[in-house]
Structure 1
Amino acid sequence: MFQIGDKKIAQSEPAYIIAEIGVNHNGDMELAKKSIAKAAEIGADAVKFQTFNSKKLVSKYAAKAKYQTQNTSSEESQLDMLKKLELSYDDHIVLKNYCEQLGIEFLSTPFDTDSAKFLNDIGVHAFKIGSGDLTNIPLLEEISTYKRPVLLSTGMANLTEVEEALEALKGTETAILHCTSNYPTPVEDVNLRVMNTMEQAFGKIVGYSDHTLGYEVTVAAVTLGAKVIEKHFTLDRDLPGPDHKASMNPEEFAELVQAIRNVEESLGDGIKRCMPSEEDTKSVARKSLVAIADLKPGDVLTEENLTVKRPGTGIPPKYFSLLIGKTVKNEVKEDNVLTWNDVL
């Protein structure tokens, strides 16, 4: 059974919704806390941060991604950018405690072994592995020793690489998140059906880490079976930083949560039946056998004195041929429906 804290993640359960704060706190603890509080208020199951040591994460010569260059100073290196977005271990403990106070799950993505060990030591209920570390087998093998649930993002990967990552995580409850690592992701590169491919290939819970704009694709993922949803979250898309522009603000995220819950409720149980709200329409819209002329006891029903009309409160039309030749027991006025009590 896959479970994070007290929340079960299964086909029979609602999708687990993660507000990816990531580095959208901009290194400001007050902004981080306000983001957590707002995410809890609008119905997210968890918030997720990123745990890293900038110098261990990137070389001083590492270039920025295109989207990072577009959203931050082009003169600033990736290392310098990340230094400003780094949270201390003590900061993480404060934020985790704050999440516990508000009743929302604290999650974080470790980018190195020391960060993973730290998160394990403070008792996170699950690990999120970012797409960039799907091929970082030493890190995956380290995390597998903790025997905590893992959410594995699969952006940029092929199926063989996903299989290799799962092998490194052997013995760990793992959910696989489909992802396209572009910020924002163009819809033509989403390829949501990959979720079904991975579910069939690996027999794991599947989810979707979404970087598209809007929430149509996210909701579509839920209809295709995503049981974990992750979406970048910011208090204000106009704030400086690499990820704000491709994130949802609180109003949009609230709409997303409600849309997912509405869609889940609409999916139902798969049993085809007349639903309670249809009952009134059923009696009005369906049809019954109706007398064309006045009928009296002893008359014989024929195609000349019987027809099909609304409402659907009498004998259903499928019995038309069965009633031909039957004898009328009670008086039935023209244009009235027949009931079984009217026929011998």
Structure 2
Amino acid sequence: MQSKTMTTTHIDINGIRIGPGEPPYFVAELGICHGGDLEVALQLARQAAAAGAPCVKTETFQADRLVGDPALTTSYVINGETRTELLAEHMSRFQLSFNQHHAIKKECDRLGVSFMATAHDAESVEFLKDIGAAAVKAASPDLIHIPLLRCMAASGLAVFLDTGSAHLHEIVQAVSTLRGAGAQRIVVNHNPAGHPAAAHRHDLRQIPRLMQILGVPVGISDHYEGYDMLPAATALGACALEKPISEDRFVQEPERNWSISIADLPEQLQRIREVYLALQPMDTLHLTPEQEQYRLRNRMSLVAAKDLAPGDPIDLQHVDFARPRQGIGVEHWDAVHGRLLRRAKPARSFIDWSDLE
């Protein structure tokens, strides 16, 4: 399909600017890694904030509202083994009540970090708006849920949107729907398919491509079984990074196997920060004092290869090269090659311009 290149806009969430050129916005996803236990969720939120995560996210699903067919199943992979269970039972085991989500929001307020959540229905969107959430997220299956997208846009909250297995025209339509309904702060998360998602299914170059096509900040919702995709996505310009966090990613429960163990989060956030810093442009026209000193110490100059007499030529039989930068630099070789000395030079002494005829 033909697409029109757009200027990517930036958005702001509680004073943090999100978009190209800014540090990637990390969303610590509690997901279902709390096991349905509010105290575990609260502790994970505290540890995420202490590690430096600017945002904590939950899932507001309620099985009795979301599952219409009691026979519907869900599948996920742990240690290479596909496991299947009834979706309603799966959700019921991990869901939190609205009051519990509100408790997490209050704790985030106390910690000084933003709170957001995935919503699957209008009631959940209104709930998030009422408690002052910073953003609402549409899960990848809901990218085509036009009534829900319009409800999210009308809330005034920032809207995050996962792509999942959507076609490009569906992603474009979803962003258009949000904009048409008044959404002004939109983030699209490239969301490679799979639970967990294999490396070969990531196609991370979609991140800059989607950013160019959609004109919104684009990040990644990371389901990779490991940490490598976070710095890789950062290197490709991802504006947001979302990944589940857990007490221990090696516990054999769904979602934990593609989470970040909370003890590893500070180090992973630092890795992301260092990759971001490595992408920053440098002013190559104006060197720092440290760079100037490095040049003077390590760039070579012409020195006498042996005791030289007046009239000896500047050539490879009479001249050697050594550090630091004193006298004539090696970059001037073509300008001085063949010229004659006007005075004697002892071996290993630096040759200056005034030494030449």
Residue 300 of structure 2 is matched in structure 1 by 287
Cα distance in structure 1, aligned partners of 2:282 and 2:128: 41
Residue 273 of structure 2 is matched in structure 1 by 261
Cα distance in structure 2, aligned partners of 1:275 and 1:155: 45
- CA deviation vs aligned residue, 1:28-82 (integer Å, no higher than 9, x gap): 11111111111112221111101122222112335332207999985x5211221
Residue 226 of structure 2 is matched in structure 1 by 214
Q: How does 1:100-115 map to 2 (within 5 A)?
A: 100-115=109-124
In structure 2, give the amino acid aligned to 1:133. Answer: D
TM-score of the pair, normalised by structure 2: 0.86
Q: Structure 2: 5+ residue runs without aligned partners?
A: 1-9
In structure 1, give the amino acid aligned to 2:336. Answer: L
Cα distance in structure 2, aligned partners of 1:184 and 1:78: 17
Residue 332 of structure 1 is matched in structure 2 by 345
In structure 1, give the amino acid aligned to 2:330. Answer: P
Native 8 Å contact 1:72 1:240 kept in 2? no
Counterpart selection for 2:178 from 169, 174, 179: 169
Cα distance in structure 1, aligned partners of 2:237 and 2:97: 37
- CA deviation vs aligned residue, 1:115-141 (integer Å, no higher than 9, x gap): 011111111122222112111111001
Residue 56 of structure 1 is matched in structure 2 by 65
Cα distance in structure 2, aligned partners of 1:218 and 1:52: 26
Cα distance in structure 2, aligned partners of 1:118 and 1:267: 39
1:123 to 1:62, Cα distance in 2 relative to 1, 3 A: farther
Query: 2:212 matched to 1:200?
Result: yes
In structure 2, give the amino acid aligned to 1:154. Answer: T
Cα distance in structure 2, aligned partners of 1:199 and 1:306: 60
Residue 87 of structure 1 is matched in structure 2 by 96
TM-score of the pair, normalised by structure 1: 0.89
Name the SS of the counterpart of 1:120 in structure 2: helix
Cα distance in structure 2, aligned partners of 1:59 and 1:154: 23
1:304 to 1:263, Cα distance in 2 relative to 1, 3 A: closer
Offset of 1:334 from its aligned partner? 2.1
Task: Judge which range, 26-35 or 281-290, deviates more.
Answer: 281-290
In structure 2, give the amino acid aligned to 1:183. Answer: H
- RMSD between aligned alpha carbons? 2.7
Name the SS of the counterpart of 1:262 in structure 2: helix
Query: 2:105 matched to 1:96?
Result: yes
Residue 331 of structure 2 is matched in structure 1 by 318
Offset of 1:219 from its aligned partner? 0.7
Task: Judge which range, 77-86 or 180-189, deviates more.
Answer: 77-86
Offset of 1:187 from its aligned partner? 0.5
- CA deviation vs aligned residue, 1:124-161 (integer Å, no higher than 9, x gap): 12222211211111100111112322121111111101
1:320 to 1:113, Cα distance in 2 relative to 1, 3 A: same
Cα distance in structure 1, aligned partners of 2:308 and 2:277: 49
Residue 247 of structure 2 is matched in structure 1 by 235
Name the SS of the counterpart of 2:144 in structure 1: coil
Cα distance in structure 2, aligned partners of 1:277 and 1:190: 40
- CA deviation vs aligned residue, 1:157-197 (integer Å, no higher than 9, x gap): 11101001001111422121111131111101111011121
Native 8 Å contact 1:131 1:181 kept in 2? no
Native 8 Å contact 1:47 1:104 kept in 2? yes
Task: Judge which range, 39-48 or 53-62, deviates more.
Answer: 53-62
Native 8 Å contact 2:74 2:86 kept in 1? no
1:19 to 1:338, Cα distance in 2 relative to 1, 3 A: same
1:302 to 1:36, Cα distance in 2 relative to 1, 3 A: closer
Task: Judge which range, 314-323 or 167-176, deviates more.
Answer: 314-323
Cα distance in structure 2, aligned partners of 1:48 and 1:230: 9
Offset of 1:275 from its aligned partner? 7.0
Offset of 1:272 from its aligned partner? 4.2
- Aligned residue-pair number: 342
Residue 7 of structure 2 is matched in structure 1 by none
Counterpart selection for 2:201 from 179, 182, 189: 189
1:318 to 1:238, Cα distance in 2 relative to 1, 3 A: closer
- CA deviation vs aligned residue, 1:282-323 (integer Å, no higher than 9, x gap): 445432222234346x64644366534121413222222322
Cα distance in structure 2, aligned partners of 1:80 and 1:68: 17
Cα distance in structure 1, aligned partners of 2:300 and 2:336: 16
Name the SS of the counterpart of 2:260 in structure 1: coil
In structure 1, give the amino acid aligned to 2:166. Answer: A
Cα distance in structure 1, aligned partners of 2:165 and 2:289: 46
